[in-house]
Structures are given as C-alpha cells and as structure tokens.
Amino acid sequence: MRLDRSAGGLADQLAAELRTAVRSGRLAAGGRLPATRELARDLGTSRGVVVEAYQQLVAEGFLTSRQGSGTRVAPMAPPGAGAPALAPGPAGSGGAMVGVVAPGPAGSAVAPGLATSGVAYDLRVGTPDLAAFPRRAWLAAVRRVLTELPHQALGYGDPGGAPELRAELAAYLRRVRAADVAAERLVVVNGVAQGLHLTVGALARAGPVRLAVEDPHSARTYDLLEDAGAVPVPVPVDHEGIDVGALRRTSARAVLVTPAHQYPTGVVLSPRRRAELIAWAEEVDGFVLEDDYDAEFRYDRNPVGCLQGLSPHRVVLLGSVSKSLAPGLRLGWLAAPPALATAVRQARAVSDLGSPVIDQHTMVQLIVSGAYDRHLRQMRRRYRARRDALTAALSRWLPAAVPHGVPAGIQLYLELPAGLDEAAVVAAAAARGLAVEGVAPLRIDTPGPPALVLGFARLPEHRAPGAARLLAAAVAAVRGERS
C-alpha cells in the first residue's frame, strides 16, 4: 500500500487502496484490519488519516466496525459472482400484476415551468442555482469542441454515448463516487429520468415488473416508472433509509433508492442497511437502481461512495448534471451490469439514436480542463453557506420546526409541528409570496408528520431570514394566531 504524500488527501488515498483490496479479494471478507495506530505507524502517517479512511469505508459498507472485535472486511459477494440474467425473477414473481397496485402520489404531475409571478421567495425544489451556471467555461469548452471536432464526429454516433465522454465519466465516477465502472458499461442518457425509463423498460420487457420504491418518493420520477412498465411497490423510509425488512416482505425483485441523500427526507442509507440491501438483491437475484441525483453535494464530510461500488453486478448507478450544472442540459449517465447495459444501449438506439454530440464533447472538455471540479467546489461552498443560513434563520423564527437529514444536496426536509395542516401552511406561505412544497404529495402509503421540502440553492444567505419569517407567519396563521 503506497501513499503519495505530494498529492495530499492521504485519507482518500488510503480509502481508495483499501476499497481496491476488498474488491479484488486481497482483503478477504471477515478479515480483521490492523488497529488504526498500528497501520498509521506502518504507513508513517498520523492515526487520524487511518481513522478517517476506516470511517469512510464503514459508511460505504466495505468494512464493519464493532466494539471489541475491531474493524473487519464486510461480508461481500466475491468479485464477478452471480451476474444476474436480465429478466429478474422466477416465473410469476416479477411479471404478474399481483398484489396491491399502489396509487401514484397525489398531484405527482410536475408543472413544466415554474410560475414566478407574485413569488418573492422561491423555495421550490429540484433546481440548482441557474444563475451560477459556468457560462464562460461552457462557452470556452464549446468553442474548443467546434474548433477541434472532426466533421465525421457530427454524424450518428454510438447510441450509448460518445466514447470520449464515457471514458471521462467512468474515470470521474471511479474517482469521485468510488464507483466500479468501466466505460463499456456506461451509457450516456438524457438524465436520471431517461436512465430510469430505459432501465425499467429493459427489466419489464417480459411484462410489468414490480419495482419497490421509497415512500416518500420523488414526484418527478414516479409517473415515468409506471410509464416504463413498473408496478411501484412503496416501502417505508426511516432514519436509516429504506426499511429493508419491509422490502423483504414484498415480492419485488428490483428496488429504486436514493442512498446518498434520500429524496425527500435527506437521510443517508446506513452502513447496516447498505449491507442488507445488497444481501437482499443477491437473495432475490434482483437489481438495485441507485439514483445518485445530488451526491456531489455533501457539506459535513466526504460523500459516502455509491452503492454500485460495493456490488457492480447488482446495482445500476444513475446520475446526471441536473443538480451540478443545470437540468436543462439533459445530460446524464448510467452504469449497469453488462447484460443490462447492452439492453439499455439497444433501447436507446431504438428510441432516439443517442444524445447530442456537441454537448457530450463539451462536457468532456469541461471535465478535462478541471472547470467542472472547480465549479463543484465553488457550488459546494455556496450551497453550504445557503443551507447554514436557512437552518439558522429557521431556528430563530420557527424553532418548533425541525430540519432532518444530513447537510447535503440542495433541499432541506423540515418537519412541522405535529397536527399542523401541511397543505394549509403551503397555501398560507404562497399567499405571502413564499413558494414552498409539502411532503404529503410525495407520500404513497406510509403516513408521516406534516413537513416541507425546501429548495435552498437559489436563496442567498441574506434573504434566508426573510423567507423564514414569512414561513413562521404562515404557520402562525394556520395555527390561528395573529400573523
């Protein structure tokens, strides 16, 4: 194990080395790792570096840590084991429309554009700070592409994406998300939404597929799952993420999750649940669809590596630049096990022959020039400050409401005082020029407390107190107090 001191980020380097060792089987399941002090001494580094690397890998599910038994390699399927066939499920379990057909979340249709008249504060979710789009860097990248791209590259390309972009994205996902992905298994898509549609479509080729979904769940992706042939089966989410025990009680053999930052509750899938989820996928010979929609943004620590990195033959990783750059780019990716990646690529060829070539090459330039990383660093600082400002303002003006979830992403889950009429709060806020969204429309079967999901990406720090005061006034009005 070698650490490059000149490169910095020693804990990240050590974590990457250990991940590779676990994946390759060099560190066997159940094997005990050296004590942090011991390994630090061997590597000539501080103990803090080893502690940080171990903690990261425990969070990702590569290692387990228990008082008294030290740090051990988590039980995992051997590399390449049991790559599943495409059609999940023994006859009857995946295809038949048995059991409950869950209704879509009420009001799940999303307005195509945001009405902004009369809105002084817009905390609706899903959109990053579009004013911060790196126009200059994008322009420089487009200019370079148009100058250098050979004519023949403008023809019909690979429906799975430009090879250059697939190579860059694969390297990026390995580096930033600890994904276990090669360019051949990566498909460029129009965003997570299209990636989900194509993946579910491939799984449902033989008939509707029962797909477990988190409850509550993103309204933006619910309808498209049904459209692609899924019969959504809601599974409750608690403070550790999706309830894998409840998932086991369904007959679903595919599940869609948001492990890095559950949408909308903001919780991170716990190490225990990550292990249980992968074990479940092995047992049912199924698939986990990992919606990694906002994983670039974690503010208190390094983001937890993606689930796909733990089990690349069971997990389909889906991501996009919708939160990191702009949703209007419609640029995303998915990394899937070989058979599924081929099916998705073929489906893309049949449906629309692939993504725009100039944008794909522009994205390559953005990554290789370092501009993408720089933009992410800048946005991380900005969003962190905005989130901090909003939580501080809420604790001052509306202390009875409780923010949940980890500091991450571009939305905040805010639990309102029990018994409050959530829809009435949303309406009272709108009447005061504050646009917010309630969580009730995202709940499918599992009831929950009144809550809001607040998009803070477009709310500068100095405006946070104003928004919090309006929300407090709306809550007071609904409670029948003077506003």
Ligand X SMILES: Cc1ncc(COP(=O)(O)O)c(C=O)c1O
Query: Measured at CB, which residue is nearest to ligand X?
Result: 191
Confirm or reject binding of residue 218 to ligand X (CB under 6 A). yes
Q: Smaller CB distance to ligand X: residue 108 or 322? A: 322
Q: Among the candidate windows 91-99, 134-142, 320-328, 360-368, which touches ligand X by CB under 6 A? A: 320-328
For the CB of residue 285, give the shortest distance to ligand X in the complex, in Å.
26
Return d(Cα 137, Cα 218) in angstroms, integer. Answer: 31
Confirm or reject binding of residue 258 to ligand X (CB under 6 A). yes
Q: 10 Å Cβ neighbour count for 467?
A: 26
Residues in the chain: 483
Q: What pairs with residue 290 in β-bridges?
A: 257, 317
Residues 137-196 that bind ligand X (CB under 6 A): 191-193
For the CB of residue 192, give the shortest distance to ligand X in the complex, in Å.
4
Return d(Cα 131, Cα 294) in angstroms, integer. Answer: 18
| Among positions 164, 291, 296, 415, the unique one binding ligand X when judged by CB under 6 A | 291
Place of tokens 């898509």: 189
Q: Smaller CB distance to ligand X: residue 225 or 233? A: 225
Residue-wise burial string across 339-359, b where 16 or more C-beta atoms lie within 10 A, e elsewhere: ebbbbbbebbeeeeebbebeb
Q: Which two tokens stand for residue 222?
A: 């619910």
Q: Which two tokens stand for residue 361?
A: 């090459």
Here's the x/- map for ligand X, 429-448, by CB under 6 A: it reads as --------------------
Q: Smaller CB distance to ligand X: residue 222 or 397? A: 222
| Among positions 199, 320, 324, 365, the unique one binding ligand X when judged by CB under 6 A | 320
Confirm or reject binding of residue 221 to ligand X (CB under 6 A). yes
Prior bond of 216 cis (ω within 30°): yes
Angle, CA of 58, 236 and 279, to the nearest 5°? 45
Angle, CA of 371, 373 and 376, to the nearest 5°? 110
Q: Among the candidate windows 144-152, 215-223, 356-364, 381-389, which touches ligand X by CB under 6 A? A: 215-223
Instruction: Give the sign of the dihedral formed by CA 327, CA 331, CA 335, CA 336.
Output: positive
Confirm or reject binding of residue 263 to ligand X (CB under 6 A). yes
Here's the x/- map for ligand X, 350-389, by CB under 6 A: it reads as ----------------------------------------
Short-list 42, 52, 71, 63, CA closest to 9: 52
Q: 10 Å Cβ neighbour count for 150?
A: 6
Hey, is 419 helix, strand or coil?
Answer: coil
Here's the x/- map for ligand X, 124-143, by CB under 6 A: it reads as --x-----------------
Q: Among the candidate windows 128-136, 171-179, 276-284, 319-327, which touches ligand X by CB under 6 A? A: 319-327
Q: Smaller CB distance to ligand X: residue 64 or 320? A: 320
Say how many Å lie between the first and final Cα of the chain, rounded.
63
Q: Smaller CB distance to ligand X: residue 264 or 305? A: 264
Q: Smaller CB distance to ligand X: residue 196 or 468? A: 196
Which residues of this protein are in contact with ligand X, per CB under 6 A?
126, 191-193, 218, 220-221, 258, 263, 291, 293, 320, 322, 327, 332
